[in-house]
Amino acid sequence: MTTYLNTSNGQSVGSDKTFASINPATGETLGNVPISSRQQVADAIAAARAAQPAWAARPDAERKALMMKVAEIIKANDAYLADWVTREQGKPLGGVGPDQVPGARFEVWGCEVWTQVPASLDMPMEVAFEDETRRDEVHRKPYGVIAAIAPWNWPLLIAIWQIIPSIRAGNTVVIKPSEYTSIGTLEMVRLISEALPKGVVNTVSGPGEVGSWLVSDPGINKVMFTGSARTGAKVAEAAAKNVVPVTLELGGNDAAIMLPDADPKAMAMGLFWGAFINMGQTCAAAKRLYVPESLFEPTVQALKELAQAMPMGNGLEEGMVMGPIQNKMQYDKVVDLVESAKAQGGNVVCGGTPRGGAGYFYPLTLVTGLKDGDRLVDEEQFGPVLPIIRYRDVEEAIASANRLDVGLGASVWSTDVEKAKQVASRIQAGTVWINQHGMIHPMVPFGGVKGSGYGVEFGLDGLKAVTQPQVISIKK
Ligand code: NDP
């Protein structure tokens, strides 16, 4: 069995201790992953610290060119990386490009695009104030060393979201992937590191404890975290002890609201993918759908037809659209929430019973008959289950969307965009999509409000988030 290695200071690094990475579709062991020691975490941070001044001092055009080279490496290895995403994370290979079934090839294509876009963005100096007595310039400076903690749902893409803006801005990075999906990330970093000076991007791997060593180290200057609220709070606490800022992307429980003038048939496909992209294991997926009485039956019917038509299986087989749930912890959570929905009076429209056999497969499940306060509505399922909730008037639906303590995304569906915008502006979420859900873009800032975290990623705002302002104030 191959042991995959970390990249630290440009070297491949193993460890005395390893653990096995498992294919969630088959249960087979894919390879071994090093459990980094505390010393190895410190070494990776030291390498990043040593590399950072020279990296930041490089002419901007050189950093840009090297990052375009990183995008080329991702493209040249797209089949290899997509294969790892499917085998380790579970999402089927799917198609390439924005209009295709969003599987592993889509994820790797996203890595390429989310590298090219920050590489092409500039952060010019801004003049904050100028008159005959003074001139005040705001320059953007890198933080130094960024610690990145990535989750298991979009393992390569989220790693890229953390790594690329950071290095574009002159920081260096130490990243720890989730223990559920380490190999793909270790391999991607090994490959892209060939284009970068040693120490610019480093990896460590292992369980959550390794992540806690990383984020609490005084050699770290900023933390980027994507994952659960519970772990996010621990990470923020550890970073606060060193007065280090954190970007927290903590998922949510996105509401999708259909307005009474929505068109269930025409919108069903958008709603379906908004909820079930990556088997629902997506931070900004629609996790509860509010539908007016008048549209309830046609909406449920249209979604049921789509849910039952999607082939589910081992994602390495071409034509598969849905894969397994990524890990046992998440699978158990989904089973538990569906069982609680049944006990709380929910009607299972389709799915609702584990498929059995090898792998963590759970059928696409629609549940009606629930109300706010029921567990499947209030708790983030992060899986292939969607509660569809009836509402009587729009005010009630807006109140439902806002009543939880999270606010990452939301969506409003209507044939009248102006009306939808009015509703959207009253929803407490970092992004409210109209007639689409979860449609992130590399130029558009993305982040949560309330318990979904703070700070933004993507676009110029995302780039600024990995820098700090320095004012140069000149007396005339
Ligand atoms: P976690 O938040 O525990 O994991 C996210 C990352 O944090 C992983 O890399 C994990 O490593 C790491 N980690 C764990 N403990 C620490 C620590 N003390 N210090 C630093 N890093 C740490 O999420 P889970 O995998 O447990 O998933 C639980 C729930 O989180 C899901 O059910 C889902 O609701 C939500 N989630 C949200 C995501 C999002 O996109 N916002 C993504 C994934 C999950 P390791 O995996 O090795 O433990």
CA-proximal residue: ligand 1, atom 6 (nearest)? 151
Query: For 236-282, what is each residue's pLDDT tens digit?
Result: 999 999 999 999 999 899 999 999 999 999 999 999 999 999 999 99
- Check if 352 has its Cβ closer than 6 Å to any atom of ligand 1: no
Beta 286-292 vs 385-391: how paired, if at all? parallel
Query: For 373-419, what is each residue's pLDDT tens digit?
Result: 999 999 999 999 999 999 999 999 999 999 999 999 999 999 999 99
Under the banding of pLDDT at 50, 70 and 90, the label for residue 101 is confident
Nearest to 184 by CA among 105, 81, 110: 81
What is the secondary structure of 27-46 as a DSSP string?
--EEEEEE---HHHHHHHHH
Query: For 74-89, what is each residue's pLDDT tens digit?
Result: 999 999 999 999 999 9
- The answer to whether 277 touches 286, Cβ cutoff 8 Å, is no
pLDDT of residue 100: 75
* Residues labelled catalytic: 249, 283
CA-proximal residue: ligand 1, atom 35 (nearest)? 228
pLDDT of residue 38: 98
Contacts of 64 (CB under 8 A, 6+ apart): 119, 120, 168
Placement of tokens 């393992």 in the chain: 155
pLDDT of residue 99: 67
395 — phi, psi (to 5°)? Answer: -60, -40
Nearest to 167 by CA among 134, 133, 189, 200: 200
pLDDT, the chain, mean:
97
pLDDT of residue 97: 67
User: What CA–CA distance (Å, rounded) separates 455 from 135?
Assistant: 29
Query: For 186-221, what is each residue's pLDDT tens digit?
Result: 999 999 999 999 999 999 999 999 999 999 999 999
Cα 54 to ligand 1 centre (Å): 33
Query: For 141-182, what is each residue's pLDDT tens digit?
Result: 999 999 999 999 999 999 999 999 999 999 999 999 999 999
Cα 148 to ligand 1 centre (Å): 12
- Check if 224 has its Cβ closer than 6 Å to any atom of ligand 1: no
Cα 305 to ligand 1 centre (Å): 33
Please state, in angstroms and as integers, the Cα–Cα distance from residue 82 to each residue in 94, 107, 110, 202, 280, following that order: 10, 7, 11, 21, 19
Q: What is the dihedral of CA 92, 94, 100, 105, to 10 degrees?
A: 100
User: What CA–CA distance (Å, rounded) separates 49 from 27?
Assistant: 39
Cα 167 to ligand 1 centre (Å): 23
- Check if 208 has its Cβ closer than 6 Å to any atom of ligand 1: yes
Under the banding of pLDDT at 50, 70 and 90, the label for residue 128 is very high
pLDDT of residue 98: 67
pTM: 0.97
Cα 453 to ligand 1 centre (Å): 14
Placement of tokens 């459990």 in the chain: 35
**pLDDT > 90 in the chain, percent:** 97
* CB atoms closer than 10 angstroms to residue 127: 9
- Check if 379 has its Cβ closer than 6 Å to any atom of ligand 1: no
- H-helix or E-strand spanning residue 102: none
Structure tokens at 233: 């709070």
- Check if 228 has its Cβ closer than 6 Å to any atom of ligand 1: yes
- Check if 247 has its Cβ closer than 6 Å to any atom of ligand 1: no
